[in-house]
């Protein structure tokens, strides 16, 4: 791929800007509260955009594009039932607890509601989750740089992947180390607008070239263009899960577990200046969140709708980057490899009714470059590269720089969000709680910066661990199923049932997490090899897809935790009600809203948001 000086200039200006924000804010990082919680002084609308942007990392931009190409429009459920209801619930019911209790983190709230051991389990598991999530963003960014050949000719091919990981790590480390959460939040707002600016023209150009939404519907199987069709049975939809598994696994357990208990996003709301503003943050974020499927899922559907006719007739178009310009014959799959040998443009892979591939490339080992095969000897397609393939296929040089910067911004956003959450939980809930309880505020500020370095180093290790997944959303949902799903059961009972005890919370959380791990070890998606995808204990049952396995893993973890917590609570002594004021719903004064007009109340906005989500579900059913 040949980038012009304009492309490079756009990317360099972006990197200089994000590091500049870190340097500009460094002088304001005087206390640990400034570094970890942004002084609780960020406007609600800024926190709202940061709230959504922290989640708009590689797992959403590349992961949802990949999932759109692999599963179809059914992936919109991750937004319309898998995010919006949970975000509204967080705003109405849970933010008053988080903000009103003055807890500095989600694990600290668990200590206040239950006890130290419950806090410790959550702190350690959350730290692990943030490292894995950050590693996924880092891996995706390195894969993008390697695939697009940005360093080709500058570095030996064998070193490009490794150097890309290190470069991305250093940049994120720089601006988080300097400016803490404030730097991350303002960079996330910048990154949100960059992502919109980079992907809107990609979707617009792509739709025009495939005949719009009607063209996609005429090209792809009906199951890929509807969100609810075929949900009666796991075998009749691309996701491989029936409606019960979808609504319970994704719509309830995974979504509420993520949006309501994940400190990565809750931390952004807690940076708001008041409880009223903090409650508005998730609702503000929910408005653009509803429409993100049209920005991140549609590119995947467009990619698998591109036929060989389009590829072969547009060879002379400079906007369509062929193998000779990318330097990577695998970018357009097996057909691209054979075309590369003759110097011709690659023909697209066959578009069949069951497994459309379009311009989705085959998966290659990032270290050896060998084509990856599944357990049946069939070629594995690298859906993670769907969005980069779209950029090369549709964007000419000049505009390509903007698209690449939007992708890089999404990776930076994902990494930074997880690193800031990691350094806060490590410093407050692990280091201060169990290692050094009597340190000065200046010492904890120093430790936060050291934790930032440690989090980045651990993320590098995680980046190499996730290379075996051909869809990073599959990997991420597995982590959420094991960690967030059982945690949500603990929160649900703890906040709404005053009888829940600390011993019960600890027992349920531990056993629920172990149940998720055991379920993963006893099940395996069809076509996957035993190992990181499951079946490492013994294959008792096979799911139609990785996502189906993830949903049911979450359901098992939640139910087991829920039952164990109730049983142990009934067998142990509860805390006095006076100790639970502000921590349990029935014992907490309701937020005062008498000074607000009806249209200004969070509940009114939540109802409006939910109404729009229902309409979108009906339109794309």
Structure tokens at 519: 């379920």
User: At residue 510, does pLDDT exceed 60?
Assistant: yes
Q: What is the mean pLDDT of residues 188-193?
A: 85
This prediction's pTM: 0.80
Q: What is the mean pLDDT of residues 549-554?
A: 90
The domain spans of the chain are 5-24+41-303+398-469+592-619
Q: What is the mean pLDDT of residues 508-532?
A: 90
The residues pairing with 524 across neighbouring beta strands, listed in sequence order, are 542
Instruction: Work out the pLDDT band at 220, boundaries 50, 70, 90.
Output: confident
Question: Between 102 and 508, whose confidence is greater?
Answer: 508
Question: Between 155 and 311, whose confidence is greater?
Answer: 155
For residues 59 and 269, the answer to whether their CB atoms sit within 8 Å is no
Q: What is the mean pLDDT of residues 462-486?
A: 76
Q: What is the mean pLDDT of residues 371-389?
A: 80
Instruction: Work out the pLDDT band at 310, boundaries 50, 70, 90.
Output: very low
Instruction: Work out the pLDDT band at 417, boundaries 50, 70, 90.
Output: confident
The CA-based dihedral angle spanning residues 381, 547, 539, 542, taken in that order and rounded to the nearest 10 degrees: -90
Percentage, residues of the chain above pLDDT 70: 89
3-state secondary structure of 371: strand
Say what the pLDDT of residue 63 is.
Answer: 79
User: At residue 40, does pLDDT exceed 80?
Assistant: no
Nearest to 450 by CA among 183, 177, 129, 104: 177
pLDDT in tens, 237-261: 777 888 888 889 888 998 998 898 8
Say what the pLDDT of residue 470 is.
Answer: 55
Q: What is the mean pLDDT of residues 167-193?
A: 84
User: At residue 309, does pLDDT exceed 70?
Assistant: no
b/e sequence 197-213, b meaning 16+ C-beta within 10 Å: ebbeebbebbbebbeee
- Among 304-318, 387-401, 446-460, the range of highest mean pLDDT: 446-460
What is the rounded average pLDDT for all residues in the chain? 82
pLDDT in tens, 11-21: 888 888 888 88
Q: What is the mean pLDDT of residues 78-93?
A: 92
The residues, ordered by sequence, that sit 6+ positions from 348 with a Cβ below 8 Å of its Cβ are 306, 307, 308, 310, 311, 332, 333, 335, 357, 358, 359
User: At residue 343, does pLDDT exceed 80?
Assistant: no
> Domain 5-24+41-303+398-469+592-619 carries which CATH code?
1.20.1730.10
Say what the pLDDT of residue 182 is.
Answer: 82
User: CA Rg, the chain, in Å?
Assistant: 24
Q: What is the mean pLDDT of residues 350-354?
A: 44
Distance CA 138, CA 222 (A): 35
Instruction: Work out the pLDDT band at 322, boundaries 50, 70, 90.
Output: very low
C-alpha dist (Å) from residue 233 to 237, 551, 619: 7, 15, 21
Q: What is the mean pLDDT of residues 74-98?
A: 90
Question: Between 322 and 206, whose confidence is greater?
Answer: 206
Instruction: Work out the pLDDT band at 206, boundaries 50, 70, 90.
Output: very high
Instruction: Work out the pLDDT band at 348, boundaries 50, 70, 90.
Output: very low
Say what the pLDDT of residue 328 is.
Answer: 39
Say what the pLDDT of residue 353 is.
Answer: 44
b/e sequence 420-437, b meaning 16+ C-beta within 10 Å: bbbbbbbbbbbbbbeeee
User: At residue 127, does pLDDT exceed 80?
Assistant: yes
């Amino acid at each position: 791929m040949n980038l012009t000086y304009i492309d490079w200039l756009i990317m360099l200006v972006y990197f200089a800007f994000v590091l500049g924000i870190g340097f500009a804010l460094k002088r304001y990082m005087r206390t640990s509260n400034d570094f970890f919680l942004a002084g609780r002084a960020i406007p609600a609308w800024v926190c709202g955009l940061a709230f959504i942007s922290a989640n708009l990392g590689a797992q959403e931009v590349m992961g949802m594009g990949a999932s759109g190409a692999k599963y179809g429009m059914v992936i919109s459920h991750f937004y319309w039932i898998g995010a919006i209801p949970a975000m509204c619930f967080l705003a109405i019911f849970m933010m008053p607890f988080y903000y009103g209790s003055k807890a500095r983190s989600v694990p600290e709230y668990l200590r206040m509601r239950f006890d130290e051991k419950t806090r410790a389990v959550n702190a350690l598991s959350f730290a692990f989750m943030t490292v894995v999530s950050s590693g996924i963003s880092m891996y995706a960014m390195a894969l993008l740089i390697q695939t697009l050949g940005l360093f080709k000719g500058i570095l030996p091919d064998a070193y490009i992947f490794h150097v890309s990981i290190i470069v991305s790590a250093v940049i994120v480390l720089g601006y988080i180390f300097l400016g803490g959460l404030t730097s991350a939040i303002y960079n996330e707002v910048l990154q949100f607008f960059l992502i919109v600016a980079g992907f809107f023209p990609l979707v617009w150009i792509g739709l025009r070239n495939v005949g719009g939404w009607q063209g996609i519907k005429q090209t792809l199987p009906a199951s890929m263009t509807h969100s609810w069709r075929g949900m009666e049975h796991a075998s009749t939809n691309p996701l491989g899960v029936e409606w019960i598994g979808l609504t319970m696994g994704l719509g309830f357990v995974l979504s509420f577990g993520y949006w309501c208990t994940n400190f990565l996003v809750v931390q952004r709301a807690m940076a708001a200046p008041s409880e009223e503003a903090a409650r508005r943050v998730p609702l503000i974020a929910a408005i653009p969140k509803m429409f993100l499927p049209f920005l991140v899922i549609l590119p995947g559907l467009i990619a698998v709708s591109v036929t060989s006719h389009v590829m072969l007739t547009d060879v002379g178009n400079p906007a369509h980057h062929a193998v000779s310009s990318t330097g990577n014959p695998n970018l357009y799959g097996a057909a691209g490899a054979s075309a590369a040998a003759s110097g011709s443009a690659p023909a697209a892979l066959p578009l069949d009714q069951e497994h459309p591939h379009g311009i989705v490339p085959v998966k290659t080992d990032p270290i050896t470059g060998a084509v990856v095969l599944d357990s049946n000897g069939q070629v594995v397609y690298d859906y993670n590269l769907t969005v980069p393939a779209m950029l090369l296929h549709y964007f000419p040089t000049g505009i390509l720089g903007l698209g690449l910067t939007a992708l890089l911004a999404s990776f930076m956003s994902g990494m930074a969000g997880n690193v800031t959450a990691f350094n806060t939980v490590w410093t407050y809930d692990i280091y201060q709680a169990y290692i050094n309880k009597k340190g000065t505020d200046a010492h904890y500020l120093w430790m936060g910066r050291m934790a930032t370095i440690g989090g980045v180093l651990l993320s590098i290790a995680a980046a190499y661990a996730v290379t075996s997944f051909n869809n990073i959303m599959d990997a991420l949902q597995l982590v959420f199923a094991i960690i967030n799903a059982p945690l949500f059961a603990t929160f649900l009972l703890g906040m709404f049932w005053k009888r829940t005890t600390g011993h019960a919370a600890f027992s349920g959380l531990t056993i629920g997490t172990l149940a998720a791990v055991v379920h993963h070890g006893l099940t395996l998606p069809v076509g996957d090899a035993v190992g990181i995808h499951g079946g490492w204990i013994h294959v008792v049952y096979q799911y139609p897809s990785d996502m189906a396995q993830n949903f049911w893993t979450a359901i098992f973890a939640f139910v087991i935790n829920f039952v164990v917590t109730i049983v142990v609570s009934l067998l142990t002594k509860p805390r006095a009600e006076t100790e639970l004021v502000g921590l349990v719903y029935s014992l907490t004064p309701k937020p005062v809203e008498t000074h607000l007009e009806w249209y200004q109340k969070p509940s009114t906005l939540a109802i409006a948001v939910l109404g729009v989500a229902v309409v979108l579900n009906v339109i794309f059913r």
